Amino acid sequence: MANIPVTTHAPETQLHPKSRRVDIGRIVIYIVLVFGGLLAIIPFLFSISVSLMNLTEATGGALLPSTPQWSNYIDAWNEASFGLYFWNSIKLALITVSGQVIFSTAAAYAFARIEFPGKNFLFALLLSTLILPEAVTWVPNFITVIWLDRITPFKWFNNWPALTIPFMSSAFSILLLRQFFQQIPEELWDSAQIDGAGHLRYLIRVVMPLSRAALVTIVLFNFIGSWNALAWPILVTQTPDWRPISYGLLSFLDEAGSLAHLRMAGAVITILPLILVYFFTQKEFTEGIATTGLKG
Amino acid sequence: MATQSATGPETAVNQRTLSIFTGRRGRTLKEVVLAYVLITPAFLIIFTFGIFPLAFSVYQSTLRGLNKIVGTYDGLGNYTKAIGNLAYVLGFWMAVIFLFLAVNALIKQTHVTKKYEERPWLFTIPGIVLAVGTALFVRFVYIILPEVLGISESLRAAKQAGSEETTAVLFKGFLAEIWQKPDIQRPFWTAVIIFLIAFALIYIFLRLLPRSPRNSSYIATFFQSTLLIIGALFLGWFTLTEVQAAYTAAAESGETLEIWTQTITISAGLVLLLLSWFIWRSANHQDSTAGTFIRLGAGSLLIIGAWVLIGELPAAALSGDDDWYLGLLNTVYYSVGSIPIQFAVSLMLATFLFQDIKGKSFFRMIFFLPYITPAVGAAASFRILFSGRVDAPINRIITAFGFEPLAWLNGSTGIFQMIAGDGVTLPTWAAGPSLSLVVIILFGVWTFIGFNTVILLAGLGAIPHELYEAASIDGGNRWSQFRHITLPLLSPTIYFLTLWAVIGTFKAFNHIYVLRTGAALGTADTASIVIFDAMKRDTRYGYAAALAVLLLIIVMGLTVINNRIASKRVFYG
């Protein structure tokens, strides 16, 4: 809005060529954006297309199916125990995410609003885990899980605790939430105190509703994390009982071998839920991610 | 704590004044307890599965054995298997870095003490005692760790022998048995007593010496420096004994070793490089002629140092693990190949999206899709798209343009080698990434462009619009606006993203694991894949842990370098 005066001061004669140049620039921008968008979604379109072909089309390298074979999805679903993997991943994601929301929110609130001795030290310790490559934790955590499996009364290995408990809190979530909590104006805390609310009530009634975007981001990030988990499930599961979907798909890819249409149907089955979740939460999610990135 | 309540609005403070004197201490204590209650669950998890594994990895990396939780002690054996005699050089240099960090912290503190004219040097006593206590406690943890790990074995043995007791009872029994061993008791109580003395000393010295808000940070610095020095001494001693053991073993079998000459030559090369860097920097303070001469001197030192290193490093690293070297090389290719493209494209897309265009949020959503797609699912379709078969989609596209079909995911030849043709044989390091790795790089770029675009877009939105107006009044064109306003103000975001991207390429696992093929002959395996194979396929836990520690050292080094560059080039506010 504010730059309108500048353009109106420009001489009349220049107005015409300038606006034409801008138009060409805009067309270029649109072409680049559309082209980029196509590149981003072509692998999806390709997967969907192949997943609807029959065997000869899929192996013959056709581009589009002659008649969509919806039965491929049923075949893939039955061939591999996708139903089980699906349900496993949803259960694992729910357990991890609820742990994350409770534990990380609590810790983030303490770091954002309360002064306590050792705060800086613990916070630095937390930050240092951010650069830790996952590979460093494989050996020690595997051994820890085996050990816990043997000494505690309930099973860890090849069971849900090994797949969820290590991920029930993370430095990333705590940092993101703390960032949001700190932006909440101090006055709210003062008025909450006058109303007789303590820290816990203030956290649940005021802080958490105000940090919707951050919480959605955390939920989605951890959901994606659970859905994508591959290395760790390969290490700590032996049977399909608790095998999550990414690992399930990977074993199906090897089993299905040359049946490209079934492999793609399996891939689409795996991808679709996350895309749906993303569509419903994308506004908060983009906001949450953008805030993290900006603050570093 | 006093400052905290003072920052609140006046009215709130006034209402509280009456109760402050009676309840303040109690309330602060209550808050502290609450804070610890709130962070405890999160820290228990993060500590057990995120911080402790670091120490545990270091411990495991000194053990050898197949599919053994507690293997046999092997010293630096796993490291020499991975990187040859370079392991010894690395050991000594890590000790030097520890010493440097300790001295650096002390020097920084001297500046502070001078500024405020304080004399906190007596705090060295509690600082040192506390550090010694911590070191003794770490020693205790390393002593008790194998014993505690062994419980699981004895528990299983007891169950197999038909023990009727429950797991909990058995566990308590074994734990008590370990606990009563004098080898455990002595180190534990020494550590505890030293700790108690340290806390008493801290209390006494804080009372005795003049009060200052910086006192606790002084103690922290002395503590940290002493701990680093103890670590450096231990690491130096450990490496030294390992070198001597290697020489003794070699003397028995009649071989000759060159560890010392290699260590000294490589260290000399590194010292020359560091010297040249310092001299180059000091040239900035000189006038032009002197500066040129100094720079010339620095340059020649650099060349000599680099020449020494190039001559000696391969010889020292020769006996290392070729798979590991290939993994590191592939990781470097993956970083260098994906990050610049990723940034160029996403910066372009972000600036385009930032214009006043229709369907902005639609495009943003589309670009972001690859990032949230499950990697295994997307990689499955890449596996078909980039299959090496002649009738695979990508091969059909390139043959339509008149090119030969390529092996893509099955390709193991480096791309520079392919460009050079069969007539020339390039050395391994110059052959470039294999076609298989190129597809993996493309996958990485495809995934991360959207993520970078969204964050850069948010960064662009944070730049005040007035700056652009001022620039357009001054007659700056689009490019100079971009160069002088957008880039500098975007630099913190770009810095964050590059750090994230570099660490990300070292962490990358899922899509590489899915996209790698047997035909690629390991040319697509990055460092984390090599580590995974060592652990899952070979069940060499100690070796995998050693590789992971090496990877961590590399990532930490890169983070430090990135920070150094950022502190000069990044413009905050």
List of chain B residues with pLDDT < 50 = 1-22, 573
In this complex, the residue of A170, A190, A286 whose CB is nearest that of residue B364 is A286
By residue count, chain A amounts to: 296
Specify the pTM: 0.87
Beta carbons of B369 and A275 less than 8 Å apart: yes
- Cβ pair B288, B276 in contact under 8 A: no
Beta carbons of A40 and B370 less than 8 Å apart: yes
Instruction: State how far the Cα of A279 lies from the Cα of A216, in Å rounded to an integer.
Output: 13
What CATH number is associated with residue A161? 1.10.3720.10
Nearest to B569 by CA among B487, B508, B503, B500: B487
Domain assignment present for A69 = no
Q: Which of A45, A56, A139 to mutate to test the interface with B (most CBs of B within 10 A)?
A: A139
Q: How far is CA B376 from the centre of its chain?
A: 26
Beta carbons of A114 and B31 less than 8 Å apart: yes
Nearest CA to CA, how far is A293 from chain B (Å)?
6
Contacting B residues, span 126-165, partner chain A, CB-CB under 8 Å: 149, 151-152, 155-156
Instruction: Enumerate long-range contacts of B273-279, CB under 8 Å, 24 or more apart.
Output: B273/B301, B273/B302, B273/B305, B273/B306, B273/B309, B275/B301, B275/B305, B276/B301, B276/B302, B276/B305, B277/B302
Kindly report, residue by residue over A137-165, the tens digit of the pLDDT: 999 999 999 988 888 878 889 999 999 99
Q: What is the pLDDT of residue A230?
A: 92
A200 & A118 share domain: yes
CB contact set of A277 (below 8 Å; sequence gap of 6+): A220, A223
In this complex, the residue of A139, A171, A286 whose CB is nearest that of residue B57 is A139
Longest CA–CA span in chain A (Å) reads 85
Instruction: State how far the Cα of B248 lies from the Cα of B242, in Å rounded to an integer.
Output: 10
Nearest residue of chain B to residue A63 (CA atoms): B393
CB contact set of B522 (below 8 Å; sequence gap of 6+): B323, B326
Sign of CA dihedral B391, B396, B402, B403: negative
A28 & A171 share domain: no
Nearest CA to CA, how far is A174 from chain B (Å)?
9
Q: What is the pLDDT of residue B22?
A: 47
A10 & A138 share domain: no
CB contact set of B419 (below 8 Å; sequence gap of 6+): none
Which residues in chain A touch residue B547, judged by CB atoms under 8 angstroms apart?
A: 135
Residue type, A90: I
Kindly report, residue by residue over B128-173, the tens digit of the pLDDT: 999 999 999 999 999 999 888 888 888 888 888 887 778 888 888 8
Nearest CA to CA, how far is B314 from chain A (Å)?
26
Domain assignment present for A60 = no
Both structure tokens of B24: 């303040």
At residue A4 the predicted structure's pLDDT band, cuts being 50, 70 and 90, is very low
Backbone φ and ψ for B73, nearest 5 degrees, come out as: -65, 135
In this complex, the residue of B57, B454, B465 whose CB is nearest that of residue A290 is B454
Instruction: State how far the Cα of A178 lies from the Cα of A175, in Å rounded to an integer.
Output: 5
Q: What is the pLDDT of residue B24?
A: 62
- Cβ pair B346, B453 in contact under 8 A: yes
| ipTM for the assembly | 0.86
Domain B332-524 fold is: MetI-like fold (1.10.3720)
Beta carbons of A235 and B43 less than 8 Å apart: no
What are the DSSP calls for B482-530, one per residue? IIIIIHHHHHHHHHHHHHHHHHHHHH--HHHHHH--GGGTTTT--HHHH
A35 & A84 share domain: no
Range of the domain at A285: 80-295
- Cβ pair B366, A41 in contact under 8 A: yes
Angle subtended by helix axes A134-151 and B167-179, to nearest 10 = 110
Q: Which of B45, B148, B558 to mutate to test the interface with A (most CBs of A within 10 A)?
A: B45
A41 & A130 share domain: no
Number of domains in chain A: 2
Mean pLDDT (chain A, rounded): 84
Domain assignment present for A74 = no
**DSSP H or E run through B127:** helix B124-160
Nearest residue of chain B to residue A278 (CA atoms): B372
Domain assignment present for A70 = no
Domain assignment present for A75 = no
Q: Which of A64, A131, A187 to mutate to test the interface with B (most CBs of B within 10 A)?
A: A131
A26 & A156 share domain: no
Kindly report, residue by residue over B245-283, the tens digit of the pLDDT: 999 988 888 888 888 888 888 888 888 888 888 887 777
Domain assignment present for A64 = no
Mean pLDDT of A50-73: 81
Mean pLDDT of A85-106: 92
A143 & A192 share domain: yes
**How many pairs of residues across A and B have Cβ atoms under 8 Å apart?**
328
CB of B348 within 8 Å of any CB in chain A?
A: yes
Residue type, A5: P
CB of B166 within 8 Å of any CB in chain A?
A: yes
A92 & A230 share domain: yes
CB contact set of A89 (below 8 Å; sequence gap of 6+): A226, A227, A244, A245, A246
Q: Which of B20, B381, B445, B496 to mutate to test the interface with A (most CBs of A within 10 A)?
A: B381
Which residues in chain B touch residue A186, judged by CB atoms under 8 angstroms apart?
A: 7-8
Q: What is the pLDDT of residue B194?
A: 94
A20 & A112 share domain: no
Q: Is the pLDDT of residue A8 over 60?
A: no
Domain assignment present for A58 = no
Which residues in chain A touch residue B457, judged by CB atoms under 8 angstroms apart?
A: 290
Instruction: State how far the Cα of B554 lies from the Cα of B544, in Å rounded to an integer.
Output: 15
Both structure tokens of B282: 């000091």
Kindly report, residue by residue over A160-217, the tens digit of the pLDDT: 999 999 999 999 899 889 988 988 888 888 888 888 888 888 888 888 888 888 888 8
A38 & A101 share domain: no
Beta carbons of B513 and A231 less than 8 Å apart: yes
Instruction: State how far the Cα of A102 lies from the Cα of A98, in Å rounded to an integer.
Output: 6
Alpha carbons within 13 angstroms on the beta-carbon side of residue A242 total 23
| First-residue to last-residue Cα distance in chain A | 30
Q: Which of A1, A51, A138 to mutate to test the interface with B (most CBs of B within 10 A)?
A: A138
Nearest to B77 by CA among B69, B87, B68, B67: B87
Nearest residue of chain A to residue B462 (CA atoms): A294
Q: What is the pLDDT of residue B193?
A: 95
Pairing between β-strand B72-73 and β-strand B63-64 as defined by DSSP bridges: antiparallel
Domain assignment present for A269 = yes
